[in-house]
Chain A
Amino acid sequence: MTDIDTHTDATVDSQTNVGTGTETTLGGDALVSIEGLKKYYVNEQSIIDRVLGNDPESVKAVDGVSFEVAEGETLGIVGESGCGKSTTGETVLRLREATEGQITFDGEDILTMSDDELTAFRKRAQIVFQDPFSSLDPRMTAGDIITEGLRIHGIADQAERRETARDLLDRVGLSADQIDRYPHEFSGGQRQRIGIARALALDPEFVVLDEPVSALDVSVQAQILNLLDDLQDEFGLTYLFIAHNLSVVRHICDRVAVMYLGEIVETGPVDEIFADPAHPYTKALLASVPRVSTEAREGDFATLHGDVPSPRDPPTGCRFHTRCPQARAACRESAPPDYAVNDRRRAKCFRNDADHAYWDSEPIEENARSLEADATQ
């Protein structure tokens, strides 16, 4: 990688394309559009704090996230623990109340919906959870679990619902005869299939998949990934795929957003980003993944220095500067805006701006020490 990060279509347009990703990253229609989403968890203040006038401590789980999901595509959100990806996924469906921001689904504003509108929305957007063991009510049969949504919305009568359950069980690769079995009689992978069937019962357009395969064995993972692929084609679904496993994301996603400490640091088509990352965090992430290959290892992993900072107290300026091997003093002072790397990609790093003061400021010493593989400064 050369000194200044250039990526295919050169011109970096620093100011005008900052902030909204709406026009530049997508060609097609956006089904879901998120703008400046924030989710803060505020601690209860003790009386003393209030008297002293202290600001309430808050955990900024999601701090200004913007992205879009086009109809029919699979957008991945990838990041490590504490980055806010799960919170983002749940907030998009209004399973958590956003602190600030705008979420638009098929032209409608989710955050200002009335209760009735929200109920209608639930039929169009669903979620599959990570843990196959706690995401199914142990006291309900598979059939009941799958058709719960239908019951809630008063769709179809009992006989029809049962038919639907049998049908869905079949579609997700289970035997329809297992409709009256309880969750503990199924394996992890099978339970996850039931969870998927449940999400599909209401015939949604948009499905948030929150780490759907992370808790599964490798061979079962592959089964479920294939299934999700097939279902997307069959039902014409749009996926928001949240994961921490980069290989899985590469396999199933069309585009990906990389999150770090509550922010999206890079967005773009998955193949491009993985081949040529524009943000040092993405680069470090990719370098850390152990490859299933017997080719000679090039020494140690290119590891990042230190731990992930706490979301309660994020670093000033660029949040990644405390661990970034290419951090400089400028990174500490101000936070990089969302640069357009090309018309499909964005990244929050000064290295994408050829004219920024970054290039004249001093490298941060502690970080420079840690990286073995990439020596460019």
Chain B
Amino acid sequence: MVSARVIRNLKKEFRNSALAKIGLVLVISIILIATFAPFVATHDPTAQQLDQSQLPPIGFSETAERTSSQMVDGEIQTVTETVEITPDPDHVFGTDSLGRDMFSRIVYGARTSLAVGVLGTLLAAAVGVPVGLLAGYHRGTVDDALMRVADVSLAFPSLVLAVALIGLWGRAAMDVPDPFVVAGLAPEMPESFVLPITVVIVVGLVNWVWFARVARGEALSLRGQEYVKASRALGASDNTIILRHVLPNAITPIIVLGTVQVAAIILLESSLSFLGFSGTTLSWGFDIAQGRDYVSSGQWWISSIPGFAIMLSVIGINLLGDWLRDALDPGIEGEGGAA
């Protein structure tokens, strides 16, 4: 399916674009970090060490106001003292309010984001692409019906819809055993990874429409191609034509959309976690939420570092998507012969 010319375009676009290189680096980094999380993380991200709470990241010294009850002159008084807190080299990104290592939480958070992002996108595509292809190919009442459903779906802001669905279905999560830890290769890390299933299903359902639209658009234009007519003349059934002729030729914009959707779903998942609607607490969004109360008192890193992580992920994926789109531009594909 991928012709030599496509590969050549990909390489050419990549060579010429610094942004594409940045994107690829970012994305590959995230994938590696997420996959090998047990090895990259320095601590168990769920381990609380209350005496080590609120440590700043390396390089930053924080002054904080500590309020405590002390005995002063025989009376119990609340004393506020300004304490200087120095970072602990053991915790590169500092710790959160419960003393959990921020760096490790970021690393494991990458897993959550990537897992939800990819699985959610696959689900959205699995629902949206067939719907779109059928609607675009058959047109008429099938198209009308399916697209009305899509319109209704689009009428709801995705976050609101997601929240509503989670409210309905709860925050079920699945414990996925971590192969590295189970094999004994990283004994201190948690044995299973919590995959928020409902969130995956919800984000998939919320975003299927984008795939449906793109697929439908492609199917609409491809159905008029003469090779589709030729296939029918040979006796192919509609389903055969859709699978063998329409889908392969429509796949390019769908792939480009897919990459961009992963970024969008990561953002959506982060928003849901932020609002407390996720089935897992090991998520960038959750950390932003929990750090919200501490920003004004000076512990900015608990919210900001996860925020940066989200930002870099989304930027990386979008740059990658741009590269793919430029390289796979339909104007280049499919032409040829004497001019």
A contact residues vs B (CB 8 Å cutoff): 90, 93, 95, 118-119, 122-123, 126-127, 129-139, 148-149, 152-153, 182-188, 191, 195, 198, 202, 217
Within B78-125, the residues touching A (CB, 8 Å) are: none
Across-interface contacts of A188 in B (CB, < 8 A): 337-338
A149/B235 in contact, CB under 8 A = yes
CA distance in complex: A137, B326 (Å)? 22
B240 smallest CB distance to A (angstroms): 7
Q: Given A139-B1, A184-B5, answer yes or no on A191-B337 (Cβ-Cβ < 8 Å).
A: yes
A297 smallest CB distance to B (angstroms): 32
B233/A127 in contact, CB under 8 A = yes
CA distance in complex: A131, B335 (Å)? 13
Q: Which of B147-155, B178-186, B221-229, B272-280 contacts A (4 or more CB under 8 A)?
A: B221-229
A129/B230 in contact, CB under 8 A = yes
A285 smallest CB distance to B (angstroms): 27
A95/B229 in contact, CB under 8 A = yes
- Chain B: CB-nearest residue to A119: B235
B245/A183 in contact, CB under 8 A = no
B337/A135 in contact, CB under 8 A = no
Decide if B8 is an interface residue (CB 8 Å cutoff).
Answer: no
CA distance in complex: A182, B249 (Å)? 14
B337/A95 in contact, CB under 8 A = no
CA distance in complex: A149, B235 (Å)? 7
A184/B234 in contact, CB under 8 A = no
B234/A202 in contact, CB under 8 A = yes
Option from B3, B231, B232, B338 in Cβ contact (under 8 Å) with A182: B3
CA distance in complex: A183, B226 (Å)? 14
A186/B337 in contact, CB under 8 A = yes
- Chain A: CB-nearest residue to B246: A137
A134/B227 in contact, CB under 8 A = yes
A153/B233 in contact, CB under 8 A = no
Q: Given A138-B333, A217-B338, answer yes or no on A152-B234 (Cβ-Cβ < 8 Å).
A: yes
Across-interface contacts of A130 in B (CB, < 8 A): 226
A134/B337 in contact, CB under 8 A = no
Interface of B is mostly: helix
Across-interface contacts of B235 in A (CB, < 8 A): 118-119, 122-123, 149, 152-153
A195/B230 in contact, CB under 8 A = yes
Decide if B167 is an interface residue (CB 8 Å cutoff).
Answer: no
A81 smallest CB distance to B (angstroms): 17
A149 smallest CB distance to B (angstroms): 4
B334/A138 in contact, CB under 8 A = yes
Q: Which are the 3 A-B pairs with shortest beta-carbon distances?
A: A184-B336, A122-B235, A135-B226
In the assembled complex, 7 residue pairs joining A and B whose CB atoms fall closer than 8 Å, in A order, are A126-B234, A127-B230, A137-B227, A137-B245, A184-B334, A184-B337, A198-B234
CA distance in complex: A134, B254 (Å)? 21
A136/B227 in contact, CB under 8 A = yes
CA distance in complex: A135, B229 (Å)? 8
Within B231-259, the residues touching A (CB, 8 Å) are: 231-236, 240, 245, 248-249
A148/B236 in contact, CB under 8 A = yes
A56 smallest CB distance to B (angstroms): 16
B248/A139 in contact, CB under 8 A = yes
Across-interface contacts of B245 in A (CB, < 8 A): 137
Max chain B CB contacts within 10 Å: which of A130, A132, A134, A187? A134
B226/A187 in contact, CB under 8 A = no
Across-interface contacts of A195 in B (CB, < 8 A): 230
B243 smallest CB distance to A (angstroms): 12
A152/B236 in contact, CB under 8 A = yes
B249/A139 in contact, CB under 8 A = yes
Across-interface contacts of B335 in A (CB, < 8 A): 133, 184
Across-interface contacts of B225 in A (CB, < 8 A): 134, 137
A93/B233 in contact, CB under 8 A = yes
CA distance in complex: A133, B5 (Å)? 17
CA distance in complex: A93, B5 (Å)? 36
A149/B234 in contact, CB under 8 A = yes
CA distance in complex: A153, B235 (Å)? 8
B234/A187 in contact, CB under 8 A = no
Across-interface contacts of A126 in B (CB, < 8 A): 233-234
B230/A185 in contact, CB under 8 A = no
Q: B56-95 CB contact bits vs A (8 Å, 1 = yes)? A: 0000000000000000000000000000000000000000
- Chain A: CB-nearest residue to B335: A184
Across-interface contacts of B230 in A (CB, < 8 A): 127, 129, 135-136, 195, 198
A183/B236 in contact, CB under 8 A = no
A276 smallest CB distance to B (angstroms): 37
A95/B248 in contact, CB under 8 A = no
B229/A133 in contact, CB under 8 A = no
Not counting A135-B226, A138-B333, A184-B5, a sample of 12 additional A-B residue pairs whose C-beta atoms are within 8 angstroms of each other reads A127-B229, A127-B230, A129-B226, A135-B227, A136-B230, A137-B248, A139-B3, A148-B234, A152-B235, A186-B336, A191-B337, A198-B230
A273 smallest CB distance to B (angstroms): 29
A209 smallest CB distance to B (angstroms): 12
Across-interface contacts of A95 in B (CB, < 8 A): 229, 232-233
- Chain A: CB-nearest residue to B248: A139
B221 smallest CB distance to A (angstroms): 11
Option from B5, B229, B336 in Cβ contact (under 8 Å) with A129: B229
Across-interface contacts of B229 in A (CB, < 8 A): 90, 95, 127, 129, 135
Max chain B CB contacts within 10 Å: which of A118, A138, A187? A138
B142 smallest CB distance to A (angstroms): 15
Across-interface contacts of B333 in A (CB, < 8 A): 138
Across-interface contacts of A148 in B (CB, < 8 A): 231, 234, 236
Across-interface contacts of B1 in A (CB, < 8 A): 139
B249/A137 in contact, CB under 8 A = yes
- Chain B: CB-nearest residue to A135: B226
